[in-house]
Structure 1
Amino acid sequence: MAGVVTSARLVARTIPARAAREGSGDAVVRRSIGGYELKRFDPFLLLDDGSSETGKAGFPDHPHRGFETVSYVLQGAWKHEDFGGHKGNLEAGDLQWMTAGRGIVHSEIGDPSRGKSRGLQLWVNLSSQKKMIEPRYQELKSRDIPEGVKDGVKVRVIAGEAFGIKSPIYTMTPTMYLDFTLDPGSHLQQPIPLTWNAFVYVIEGEGVFGSLTSSPAKSYTLLLLGSGDGLEAWNKSSKPVKFVLIAGQPLNEPVVQHGPFVMNTREEIEKTFNDYYSYTNGFERARTWRSENARGFSS
């Protein structure tokens, strides 16, 4: 067990991640947060489970302001590039934590030479005091993500702490992001700060969450957790179950979102559009920049 939980959080709501075409190529996105069933879950704005059968999928040059994007590659590989000259490759198990802050334009393009791809992207809101900070990146190769194993439970500590292991990722909005794999017959107890919102997203297999008498949750399912000091989970099946536990400190601030821009007021959104289309106040480099990835990609 990862820790002592005295009041386990029960599942308050179950949301299936519904598949839809998005981006270019054969990208399929299953969205559980940010869709019509759950617009947001403070401080989280979006959770996408994206995949491509061929790896030829892409999200060409597009902007962000006011939040962070967390990209976690499960299979295949992706190329990324931004207007500040930052570029690289994300392969299976790698993580990118991008703080868009006052503004960034970037591209994310699949690498078809690596075959089928799958990954999660989480959007984490920033407080009003941090929305206009300078953009920054934190990246971890798969080998550098801390891991622990205990009693048939494996954890990859992407953000926060589990099994006494801490992630090197600094979160602007306090966040826990843990990737668990439970072997058949195993049991997990993972503490969660009492005041944080938390959810589970099942990636593969099926598990029981919150109460031993709960119905098993299968892959592509998001479970919103109620109040309590932690999560209890069991694997009563004959195969491993893989899921992420994500929790964060609510900001309790107004949210005004228009696509890739997330601010606190309508006036701030209008100013963001003006900044973007006039190439000012953080978007200056967007005037002439076009990504190499996008130029080499066709749907």
Structure 2
Amino acid sequence: MKVQMKTFSFPSSLTVVLVSVLLAYIYTSNPYFNLETVKSINIPASLSHLTASINTYLINLLSASPPTTNLTISPPTTTITPSQLAAMSGRVQLPRRILKTLLAKPQSEGAGATVRRSIGTPSLRSLNPFLMLDHFSVSPGAGFPDHPHRGQETITYLLTGGMDHEDFTGNRGTLNPGDLQFMTAGKGIMHAEMPRQNPDGSANVGLQLWVDLPKELKYCEPRYRDLKAEEIPTVVTEDDKVKIKVISGKSYGVESLKNLAYTPVVFYDVEVQPGGKVEQEVPKGWQGFAYVLEGGDVTFGDGKDGKEKKVSQWHNVVFGNEQEGDGVVARVDESETKPGRFVLIAGQMMDQPVVQYGPFVLNSQEEVYQAFVDYQSHTNGFERAKGWKSEIGKSMVH
């Protein structure tokens, strides 16, 4: 991936206020911010000094297609017999190369939340078309209060607990364990994501993946698509060694619900018992990764020529996107005492520049600057942000 540093000369029409807004975000280094935070930043006197400071941080990350057709969902659970499994084995002739593995270290995010971020860090700025992957843990009293987005999609997968969401279009809902939400920010959305109070006081845990939008859809209307746990087809082997939730894509002949996101993505939640093995095809040329959620170590690769890697919990495994790669092979050794659980995700790559400041992801610096202006002036998609405050976010106001 080519990283290019560029300088930028401010157009005369941009004001010092806009520059201060940009610096406010840079100084806070937080993808979740609100207008109050921006207004609290003093405007420095020297515009030239401001421009130089901003240029230090301007990085272009250089590295779609319309949504697919709806198909009928498969039965909730499909059991694969040993004979069927044997017939399907060997279908991944050439497993994807492992390019790198990295540990997702915990860090603070939002308002009191903790995330383990593996994509969107200095070690892995982005992974075309993916912008960020957070494994979040949010206790009551913490959360992600009112904040904006433009130009990307988010996929939220709740593992335990409950999360409420609310936005300025009037959408409201709750995610329960196993549910997903596909949110398209498009030209602009302002929303809040807050945890439910669990009876035992435990944290609410899940994954949130940020996906880039193709340039022709950057300014589409915002939308939500929910996928409930009971709607997700599941594949299990008769010996119970492998269980796959087919969130998006196709696995062992079982196909998921379609048309949930604009950017084509396959998404599998895989659990492999000790002694089990899984072979999952991945579309050729798509960028893929696996993130180990919990349990025993998972070995990726087929072992040929020593090309395999044992990976433990909270590690992200980045695969090559070679055209000849069929997919991913993974197993959990018989010696492990726990099953290994991981998500396997891949997306169609895009040939377009990526310029990102926190929740704004566009194709040029000028578009990012305009997003700040639109957000502050409540125009061009952010009209409904004026005076809007979520009900669920009020618990964070002191």
Give 2:387's aligned residue: 288
- Aligned-partner residue type, residue 47 of structure 1: L
Residues matched between the structures, number = 297
Give 2:220's aligned residue: 133
Deviations 1:240-283 (A, max 9, x none): 11100000110021000011000000111111111111111111
- Aligned-partner residue type, residue 279 of structure 1: H
Asked whether the 8 Å contact 1:201–1:223 carries over to 2, the reply is yes
Give 3-state SS (helix, strand or coil) of 2:376's partner.
Answer: helix
TM-score by length of 1: 0.95
Give 1:183's aligned residue: 273
Q: Distance in 2 between matches of 1:59 and 1:296?
A: 11
Structure 1 residue corresponding to 2:310, chosen from 191, 216, 220: 216
Give 1:272's aligned residue: 371
Give 2:257's aligned residue: 168
Structure 2 residue corresponding to 1:47, chosen from 133, 147, 162: 133
Give 2:331's aligned residue: 234
Structure 1 residue corresponding to 2:285, chosen from 184, 192, 195: 195
- Aligned-partner residue type, residue 269 of structure 1: V
Give 3-state SS (helix, strand or coil) of 2:217's partner.
Answer: coil
Deviations 1:131-179 (A, max 9, x none): 1111111101111112111252111111122122222242311111110
Q: Identity over aligned residues, as a percent? A: 45
- Aligned-partner residue type, residue 292 of structure 1: E
Give 2:47's aligned residue: none
Asked whether the 8 Å contact 1:56–1:111 carries over to 2, the reply is no
Q: Distance in 2 between matches of 1:80 and 1:145?
A: 21
The gaps in structure 1 that reach 5 residues or longer are none
Give 3-state SS (helix, strand or coil) of 2:218's partner.
Answer: coil
The gaps in structure 2 that reach 5 residues or longer are 1-84
Structure 2 residue corresponding to 1:113, chosen from 186, 191, 198: 198
Structure 1 vs Structure 2 CA RMSD? 1.5
Asked whether the 8 Å contact 1:202–1:244 carries over to 2, the reply is yes
Cα 1:28–1:258 shift into 2, 3 Å: same
Asked whether the 8 Å contact 2:289–2:319 carries over to 1, the reply is yes
Residue 59 of structure 1 pairs with residue 144 of structure 2: yes
TM-score by length of 2: 0.72
Q: Distance in 2 between matches of 1:197 and 1:165?
A: 22
Q: Distance in 1 between matches of 2:356 and 2:176?
A: 30
Cα 1:283–1:298 shift into 2, 3 Å: closer
Asked whether the 8 Å contact 2:141–2:395 carries over to 1, the reply is no
Asked whether the 8 Å contact 2:135–2:206 carries over to 1, the reply is yes
Q: Larger C-alpha radius of gyration, 1 or 2?
A: 2
Asked whether the 8 Å contact 2:374–2:382 carries over to 1, the reply is yes
Residue 148 of structure 1 pairs with residue 235 of structure 2: yes
Give 1:298 deviation, angstroms.
Answer: 5.2
- Aligned-partner residue type, residue 221 of structure 2: E
Structure 2 residue corresponding to 1:98, chosen from 169, 183, 188: 183
Q: Distance in 2 between matches of 1:86 and 1:51?
A: 23
Give 1:234 deviation, angstroms.
Answer: 0.5
Cα 1:169–1:296 shift into 2, 3 Å: farther
Give 2:25's aligned residue: none
